[in-house]
Amino acid sequence: MKNFLSISVIFLLFSCTGAINKESIREISQGLLIGKNSENNTFSWKGIPFAKPPINELRWKAPQMAMPWEGLFEATDFKDECFQREIILAEEDFIGSEDCLYLNIWTPKLSKDDIASLDKPLPVMMWIHGGGNVVGDAKIYDPSSLVSSQNVIVVTIQYRMGAFGWFRHPSLVDENSSLEDKSGNFGTLDTIAALEWIKNNIKAFGGDANNITIFGESAGGHNVTALFASPLAEGLFHKAIVQSGVSSVSSIEASENYLPLNNEAPTDSALNVLNKILVYKGLAKDMFEAKSLQSNMTRLERKEILYNATPEELVTALLNDRPDKVGMTRVFPDGHVILKGGFQEAYSKNTLKKVPIIFGTNKDENKFFNSANPNFVEWIPARGLFKTAGVDLMPARIIDPEYYDAINFYGSGFWKNSAVDSPARILVENGHNSTYAYRFDWDELREVNGVELSRLVGAAHALEILFVMGTFDNFIIKSFLFGKGAFQPALQLSKDIQSYWAEFAYTGDPGKGRNNDLPEWKNWSNTGQKYLILDSSLDKGIVMSEEEYTVDFLLEGLSKDQRLSDVEKCETLFGISYDDGSGVSDNVFNNFLDGFCVDLDYTQTIEIINAVRTRLTINDEETS
């Protein structure tokens, strides 16, 4: 969908020119490389391989150490994103490559002599991009402002996604397969390989291999938590920041079996994926025949079909007609790469050594998604400056503003409960006091076509990335984002957020920021103050809050909310709980409003949910 919401991603795009600089020559384990001058008085090195290309026989294998090179490697350009369906600008195409395990590094502009004279090597922050673990790219993020202003090193990485990143078909493994290969967690293993590369090489860039912070947003936040719950990652990082992550994991059982008749499953079926490939290749006329064919194949025959599938066929097979209730692509709790008890075991037990951690969400997470739903918002063709900027659609009106505000509050609230408040409470209950939390509230957006963006999208999903990276100085942002008088206060909030993030990277405690001049960010307390609200001086500013978003708190608010009828309350809770993740159990749902919700018909609610989902489909003919 190429419309006004695409701008939220374009905000993060950047273009910079810089000359190769001999002062950026570094010697690493693979050989010599040179970078270039980058924005905000930094050096950057782009497109460094941290593992062998995971292609051909390495497609569904744990990443292997990258090969050395001869001569001087020019690390001046980004490499291709990992293979995916283009959805950001809604191009009907595939982009990227299976050969995609590369990372990018930004440092302050330090010569070799400067590095040698450092009193202490600099903290390192590894950024993991989001995108539902099916799309996304490291190159759209420019951390040079964070690097320059806070004197840290930032590494952005790529990792396999979708059917390449998290995939468990029983035919891919045998008795000789490693535990890593059996896990199906190839994307997670890629992030671990990147950490191992950083540990072995970052000293050459002035970085401290013993002070690495992992941070990421959305699926990237989920992947940060996966590292927090991975025995294989223990000791490779020392702090973690989870921005709008998802705390649930995939189902191994669902992945390795066919979908049930009602098509409801928490995880994509690898068996169904293979059936679709058999149809695409003309080996079966329909899914029924494909199922019979697959069941009569040998393991090696099924494996050969999967390895011979084109990347286009695999992506299409995974994303076309996904199961109901599937949620985003998530890690498998295999017991080796990820703890058997998933993220909850990492929170509640001392199976692994815990590092200081920050959890956070945005006040209006769900508005990013619901604003695209034609059941909630009317859109019209763009005109004027927006059309000139390449936007196809612009908002005309919110159809029912009170209803819209209500459903987004509870959707975002339950997300906060599952992604922030519950993990923080459990960690602190188990003695891990180096646990911090935030809620990003900034929403001083402009008005467009008579529609207040502060109400339409507000403090939406992914908006905080702009403030963390500090990517403010560009025309699109200044022209499309800020309400009247909001730019300078927002810029200051960005500086404050960067200061907190960097102080946490330095010390494991965000405290009062790097300059010790900000409101104190206290650790989560189950009996007192809990999380930091991040807002500009035009609103509430930066303050601690004692309000916890428990399930009981949210259910009580929903039951009494006069903006919604009882039927709408049931529909809201049903919608929140429909996808696997942040909703309530069937038992809790059935007891809500004294059982009133049990016998209602939710067919239309499901249709509305499906209307807002990004359904990535492609005709079978296009793959033939």
Asked whether residue 107 is assigned to any structural domain, the reply reads yes
Return the bridge partners of 243, or none.
217, 360
Q: Is the pLDDT of residue 377 over 50?
A: yes
Token pair in block for residue 547 = 């309000």
Residues in the chain, overall count: 624
Boundary of a domain, candidates 243, 277, 293 = 243
Domain membership flag for residue 590 = no
Give the Cα separation of 265 and 578 in Å (integer): 11
Report the mean per-residue pLDDT for the chain.
92
Considering only 428-437, 463-472, 577-586, which range has the smallest mean pLDDT? 577-586
9: confidence class by pLDDT, cuts 50, 70, 90: very low
Query: What pLDDT is stored for residue 621 in this prediction?
Result: 33
- Interval 492-506 mean pLDDT: 98
User: Would residue 229 count as lying in a domain?
Assistant: yes
| Residue 608: both structure tokens together | 């509305």
Asked whether residue 416 is assigned to any structural domain, the reply reads no
Q: What is the dihedral of CA 530, 535, 541, 546, to 10 degrees?
A: -20
Under the banding of pLDDT at 50, 70 and 90, the label for residue 92 is low
Measured in whole angstroms, how far is the alpha carbon of residue 373 from the centre of its chain?
21
First to last CA, the chain: 24
Read off the pLDDT of residues 246-291 as tens digits, 9 standing for 90 and up: 999 999 999 999 999 989 999 999 999 999 999 999 999 999 999 9
DSSP 433-474: --EEEEEE----BPEETTEEHHHHTSSBTTHHHHHHHT---S
Token pair recorded at residue 13: 């795009």
| Sign for the pseudo-dihedral over CA of 178, 182, 187, 188 | negative
Q: Which residues of 71-99 are buried (b: 16+ CB within 10 A; e: fewer)?
A: eebebbebbbbbbbbebbeeeeebbbebe
Percent of the chain whose predicted confidence (pLDDT) is above 70: 94
Question: Which range of residues forms the domain containing residue 294?
Answer: 269-321
For residues 276 and 316, membership in a common domain is answered with yes
Phi, psi of 140 (to 5 degrees): -85, 0
Provide the domain count of the chain: 2
582's tokens: 């942040």
pLDDT at 418: 97
Question: 76 in a domain, yes or no?
Answer: yes
For residues 180 and 310, membership in a common domain is answered with no
Higher pLDDT, 324 or 75: 75
For residue 18, the model assigns a pLDDT of 66
Of 341, 342, 372, nearest in space to 90 by CA? 372
199 and 113 in a single domain? The answer is: yes
Question: In this structure, are 17 and 133 located in the same domain?
Answer: yes
Write the burial class of residue 262 (CB in 10 Å: 0-12 exposed, 13-18 middle, 19+ buried): exposed
The answer to whether residue 139 scores a pLDDT higher than 60 is: yes
Does residue 183 sit in the same domain as residue 281?
A: no
Enumerate the β-bridge partners of residue 358: 241, 436
Mean pLDDT of 209-229: 98
Average pLDDT for 537-559: 97
- The residue written with tokens 């038992």 in the block is 587
Report the half-sphere exposure of 235 (CA within 13 A, side-chain side).
3
Q: Are 266 and 342 in contact (CB under 8 A)?
A: no
Q: Based on the fold, state whether residues 75 and 163 are members of the same structural domain.
A: yes
Torsion sign, CA atoms 227, 231, 232, 237: positive
When mean pLDDT is compared across 199-203, 263-267, 539-543, the lowest value belongs to: 263-267
Do 135 and 32 lie in one domain? The reply is yes
Report if residue 194 sits inside a domain.
yes
Of the candidates 31, 93, 333, 66, the one whose C-alpha atom is nearest the C-alpha of residue 197 is 66
pLDDT at 246: 93
Q: What is the pLDDT of residues 395-422, one digit of tens each?
A: 999 999 999 999 999 999 999 999 999 9
Specify whether 101 is located in the same domain as 234: yes
Question: Structure tokens of 296?
Answer: 């009569």
Of 209, 243, 277, the residue that ends a domain is 243
427 — pLDDT class (breaks 50, 70, 90): very high
Residue 457 reports pLDDT greater than 70: yes
Residues 112 and 57 in one domain: yes
Q: Are 159 and 126 contacting, i.e. CB atoms less than 8 angstroms apart?
A: no
User: Does 473 have pLDDT greater than 80?
Assistant: no
Flag whether 233 is in a domain. Answer: yes
pLDDT digits (tens, 9 = 90+) for 558-595: 999 999 999 999 999 999 998 767 899 999 999 999 99
- Same-domain check for residues 104 and 232: yes
pLDDT band per the 50, 70, 90 thresholds, residue 611: low
Residue 613 banded pLDDT, cuts 50, 70, 90: low
DSSP SS3 for 386 = helix
Question: Same domain for 187 and 302?
Answer: no
Find the Cα–Cα–Cα–Cα dihedral 500, 505, 506, 510, rounded to 10°: 30
CB 464 within 8 A of CB 440: yes
Segment 304-318 shows an average pLDDT of 97
Residue identified by tokens 């993740």 is 581
Query: Across residues 610-615, what is the average pLDDT?
Result: 54
pLDDT, average across residues 608-623: 47
CATH number at residue 219: 3.40.50.1820
pLDDT at 147 over 50: yes
Task: Note whether residue 564 is domain-resident.
Answer: no
Looking at residue 234, what is its pLDDT? 98
| C-alpha to C-alpha distance for 291 and 298, rounded to whole angstroms | 13
Task: Write down the residue that tokens 């072995």 correspond to.
Answer: 200
Q: Please indicate, yes or no, whether residues 132 and 280 belong to a single structural domain of this protein.
A: no
Among 6, 66, 120, which Cα is nearest to 392's?
A: 6
- Please compute the mean of the pLDDT values over residues 101-126 and round it to a whole number: 97
Distance, CA of 444 to CA of 460 (rounded, Å) = 11
**pLDDT score for 580:** 65
What integer is the mean pLDDT of 342-353? 97
